[in-house]
Structure 1
């Protein structure tokens, strides 16, 4: 019998794709804490294209100080993601791209179902565990993806990264998440969970906008 590994495992939470919900901050999945932060990172088609490439090649995490390894490209069959209209109504997901695409360093572009291992430290907080990409969106003015925790994390939940080219030509980067403790430490000290979340998001925002300043403390 073949030994199971994290690539075979589903996400360790039920509300897959909920980072797309318009009312996430008001009505997060039961037992989870929601979070959202956004920043304008420039304007124009070139900025949108460059930022989109950064998130679809895992570069956003690496620039934030997180090592991404053991990347296994997903087929998109098991995880195509639920899409939502502006009123929150689920819509049929778009077809996932089937051709292989790579960043300049040879890293394969993210596809639905892709698995990876994350490790490193962001400030005083450790990031370590396995994730699975639960949806990818590539529209003319909106590119996004989200991953969910699989195993080994101190927290459980989902995190999304979105680049939006708005009608006024501005380009915005948004980070959304919903999380809950998965280990005793954060259950015992729940206030640290939000601090960790804020610190991670601050690093992501700085990664695409180095001049951005935040009052988030270590």
Structure 2
């Protein structure tokens, strides 16, 4: 994917945990969601099929049934704010699964956000949301 299609330059940077490009605000939230293979499998499926977003009350408009590189999605916040994005990377491994999307022109912010489920050696399943962003519209500065 051509970086010029996005509203920021460091496309794919959320793949590197802890990396936040200069001038952006970082976000890193890690939440324990359970234990075991079945919990991991269900959580990974919810992340890939947009159910994580829908369960959080976020509107999703996409033709992609599953997140995949290049898939475009418009996220609707509070029923009013349209935020166009494109999936920039995915990973599906036995103990780690997730993806990230980056902002496109028209999004109120500029940056990238990833949603990754992982299962540690003791079987604990975690959801990690990592992002970097900065306002792209006046109303996102508040």
Q: In the aligned structure 2, how far is the partner of 1:161 from the partner of 1:149? A: 15
Partner of 2:74: 117
> What number of residue pairs does the alignment pair up?
139
Q: Which has the higher contact order (CA 8 A, sep 6+)?
A: 2
CA contact (8 A) 2:33 2:127 kept: yes
User: Is the 2:85–2:107 Cα contact (8 Å) retained in structure 1?
Assistant: no
Q: What residue is the counterpart of 1:141 in the other structure?
A: 95
1:56-205 correspondence runs (5 A): 56-69=48-61, 71-73=62-64, 108-121=65-78, 127-187=81-141, 189=142
Is structure 2 residue 5 aligned with structure 1 residue 10?
yes
Deviation at 1:22, TM superposition (A): 3.0
| Structural RMSD (CA) | 1.7
Inter-partner Cα distance in structure 1 for 2:56 and 2:81: 11
Consecutive unaligned residues of structure 2, counting only runs of 5 or more, are none
TM-score (norm. length: structure 1): 0.60
What is the aligned counterpart of 2:15 among 14, 17, 20? 20
Do 1:66 and 1:127's aligned partners in 2 also have CA atoms closer than 8 Å? no
CA contact (8 A) 2:113 2:132 kept: yes
Higher relative strand content: 2
Deviation at 1:133, TM superposition (A): 0.1
Q: Which runs of 5+ in 1 are unaligned?
A: 1-8, 74-107, 190-218
3-state SS of paired residue (2:104): strand
Question: 1:23: how far off?
Answer: 3.1
Q: Does 10-19 or 39-48 show the bigger shift?
A: 10-19
